[in-house]
Amino acid sequence: MKRIEVELGERSYSIIIGFGLLDRVGEIVEGLNLGDSVFLVSQRSIFSLYGDRCVESFHRKRFSVRSSLFGEEESDKSWESLQMVLQELVRFDEPGKKRCFVATLGGGVVGDLGGFASAIYKRGIDYIQIPTTLLSNVDAGIGGKCAINFCGIKNLVGSFHQPRLVLSDLSLLSSLPKKEILSAMAEIVKYGVICDEKFFAYIEDNFEKILLLEASSLEYVVSSCYKMKADIVAKDERDTKGIRAKLNFGHTIGHAIENTYKLSHGEAVSVGMVAASSIACHLGMLSKEEKNRLEELLKRIGLCTEIKGSESQKIMEALLHDKKFLGKTRLVLPNRIGEVKVVDGIEESLIQTAIEERMEKGEII
Ligand SMILES: NC(=O)c1ccc[n+]([C@@H]2O[C@H](COP(=O)([O-])OP(=O)(O)OC[C@H]3O[C@@H](n4cnc5c(N)ncnc54)[C@H](O)[C@@H]3O)[C@@H](O)[C@H]2O)c1
C-alpha cells in the first residue's frame, strides 16, 4: 500500500494506492471524521461489479449507505443526471439525520458528476473518490476539478472541490475493457512528455506490462502519475498560473478531433500530442528526433497517430470554440521529452497544417 499526499494546506488529502483496498474502505474512512452516512454515486454496471463489496465495507463500520446510480455514457455527465443525483441526496440527507458525505465509485464520469454534486449541495459537502478506470487512477481522480457537460460543451459547468481522500484499488481495473486501458495510456505517455524523461523511458521499456495490468508496473505508473499531478495541483490548484495548463498537452487539438471524429479520448489525445509536437518542431523548440520518439512510442502502444479523413477545417472550427482556447492561439508545446511550455500567439495556419499532416501523412518540417 502506497500513500501520496496532495499538499493544499487545509484542503490537503491522501491518495492511497494498493490492491484489495475496496473491502477496507469503511475502516480507512472511519478516522477522517467525514460523517456517518455515505451517499454512494456510481453507474449500474460498476455497481453490479463492486457495489456490494463497497457497501458491506461501510456497513461493517456502521455507516449508513444509500446508492445513486446514473447512466453509463459521457453524455450522462449531464444536468439531468446531476438533478436526479441531487434529488436522491436530498431524500437521503433528511433533517435530523447524521452528517453525510459522498463517495464516488467509478471512472472520470462518475467522479466528475459526483464531485460536482458534493461541491454544490449545501454549498459543499465532503467527498471521497474511488476511481475504477485507469484514466481516473492517473488523472481524473485527483485535483478537484469537477464538472458536467452543458449546452453541448464538455465540462462547461463545474467547480473546484477537492476530495478528502482518493482510494485507488488497482484490482478494480481487472474488469476494465481493453480499449479503456489503451485510451488511458495516452495520458500516461503525456506525463512523461510534460514532466519526466525517465518516466517516458520507463513506459518505452514497460508498456506491454502496463497494458497487461502487471501489478508492480501498474502500481509504479499510477503512483508516479499521481505524484506528478499532485505536484502540479499543489503549485496551481485553480489553474491560474499556467502550471496546471501543462496537463492540457495534446488536449486542445485532441478535444477538437474528438468532437469532430468521435475517436476515443485517448486516441484523440494521442493524435493531438503528435500534432502539437510537429508545431513545436516547426517553431524550432523540439528536435525532429524527439517528435519521432513520441510518435514511435504511441504507435508501439497501439494508439493512433493519424486520422482518416479530410475535415481539417471542421477540426479548426471545433478547436477555436474550445473554451480552453479562450480566443487565443495558445497551446502547450514540448521543448524536449520531459518539459513543456505554454505558447501564445501561434499562427492558426500552422495549427491547421499540423492537423492536415496528421490526415495526409505529410510532414511540415
Ligand atoms: N476532473 C478531472 O480532472 C478530469 C481529468 C480527466 C478526465 N476527466 C473526465 O473523465 C471522463 C472520462 O473518464 P474515464 O476515461 O474514466 O471514462 P468513464 O468514466 O466514462 O468510464 C469508461 C467506461 O468504463 C466503465 N467502467 C468504469 N470502471 C470500470 C471497471 N472497473 N470495470 C469495467 N468497466 C468500468 C464505465 O462504466 C464506462 O462505461 C471524461 O468525462 C473527462 O472529462 C476529468
Q: Average pLDDT, stretch 274-294?
A: 97
Whether residue 193 is contained in a domain is answered as yes
Reported as half-sphere exposure (CB side, CA atoms, 13 A), residue 51 has a value of 15
For residue 53, pLDDT beyond 90? yes
Q: Average pLDDT, stretch 325-332?
A: 70
pLDDT at 159 (0 to 100): 97
DSSP 139: I
pLDDT at 322 (0 to 100): 66
Considering the domain architecture, whether residues 161 and 292 belong to the same structural domain is answered as no
For residue 140, pLDDT beyond 90? no
Of the residues 72, 75, 104, 112, which should be mutated to test ligand 1's pocket, given the most ligand atoms within 8 Å of the CB?
112
pLDDT at 170 (0 to 100): 98
For residue 9, pLDDT beyond 60? yes
Cα 188 to ligand 1 centre (Å): 15
The amino acid at residue 173 is L
Backbone angles phi, psi at 153, to 5 degrees: -110, 130
Considering the domain architecture, whether residues 156 and 228 belong to the same structural domain is answered as no
From 122, 144, 174, the end of a domain falls on 174
Q: Average pLDDT, stretch 93-104?
A: 87
Cα 110 to ligand 1 centre (Å): 7
pLDDT at 38 (0 to 100): 97
Ligand 1 binding residues, C-beta < 6 A: 43, 45-46, 49, 72, 74, 77, 106-110, 112, 132-133, 135-136, 139-140, 143, 145-146, 155, 172-173, 175-176, 180
Average pLDDT over the chain, rounded to an integer: 93
Whether residue 322 is contained in a domain is answered as yes
Considering the domain architecture, whether residues 203 and 151 belong to the same structural domain is answered as no
DSSP 239: S
Whether residue 365 is contained in a domain is answered as no
Of 109, 126, 130, 115, nearest to 51 by C-alpha is 130
d(CA 337, CA 290): 7
Whether residue 251 is contained in a domain is answered as yes
* Helix H or strand E segment including 243: none
* Closest ligand 1 atom number to CA of residue 155: 43
Considering the domain architecture, whether residues 169 and 23 belong to the same structural domain is answered as yes
> Exposed, middle or buried, 290 (CB in 10 Å: 0-12/13-18/19+)?
buried
Cα 135 to ligand 1 centre (Å): 7
Considering the domain architecture, whether residues 99 and 216 belong to the same structural domain is answered as no
Whether residue 19 is contained in a domain is answered as yes
* Closest ligand 1 atom number to CA of residue 77: 41
For residue 200, pLDDT beyond 90? yes
Name the residue range of residue 159's domain: 2-174
pLDDT at 328 (0 to 100): 60
Considering the domain architecture, whether residues 145 and 279 belong to the same structural domain is answered as no
From 174, 193, 217, the end of a domain falls on 174
- The number of folded domains in the chain is 2
The residue whose CA has the least distance to atom 10 of ligand 1 is 108
The residue whose CA has the least distance to atom 22 of ligand 1 is 107
In the sheet that holds 37-43, the strands lie side by side as 2-6, 13-18, 165-169, 127-131, 100-106, 37-43, 64-70
Q: Average pLDDT, stretch 347-352?
A: 90
Task: Find the radius of gyration of the CA atoms of the chain.
Answer: 20
The residue whose CA has the least distance to atom 19 of ligand 1 is 107
Cα 91 to ligand 1 centre (Å): 27
Strand locations in 33-88 (E): 37-43, 64-70
From 126, 155, 174, the end of a domain falls on 174
CATH of the domain at 116: 3.40.50.1970
Considering the domain architecture, whether residues 129 and 161 belong to the same structural domain is answered as yes
For residue 365, pLDDT beyond 60? no
Considering the domain architecture, whether residues 96 and 206 belong to the same structural domain is answered as no
pLDDT category of residue 329 using cuts at 50, 70 and 90: confident
Cα 278 to ligand 1 centre (Å): 29
d(CA 347, CA 224): 35
Cα–Cα separations (whole angstroms), residue 89 to 42, 78, 274: 13, 16, 43
Considering the domain architecture, whether residues 113 and 147 belong to the same structural domain is answered as yes
d(CA 164, CA 200): 30
Backbone angles phi, psi at 332, to 5 degrees: -90, 120
CATH of the domain at 254: 1.20.1090.10
The residue whose CA has the least distance to atom 35 of ligand 1 is 176
The amino acid at residue 230 is A
Considering the domain architecture, whether residues 283 and 309 belong to the same structural domain is answered as yes
For residue 363, pLDDT beyond 80? no
Considering the domain architecture, whether residues 185 and 160 belong to the same structural domain is answered as no
pLDDT at 323 (0 to 100): 52
* Closest ligand 1 atom number to CA of residue 45: 37
Whether residue 304 is contained in a domain is answered as yes
Q: What nine digits make up the cell of 234?
A: 499543489
pLDDT tens per residue, range 221-272? 999 999 999 999 999 999 999 899 999 999 999 989 988 887 889 999 999 9
Q: Is 340 helix (H, G, I), strand (E, B) or coil?
A: strand
pLDDT tens per residue, range 165-180? 999 999 999 999 999 9
pLDDT at 83 (0 to 100): 98
Considering the domain architecture, whether residues 199 and 344 belong to the same structural domain is answered as yes
d(CA 288, CA 275): 12
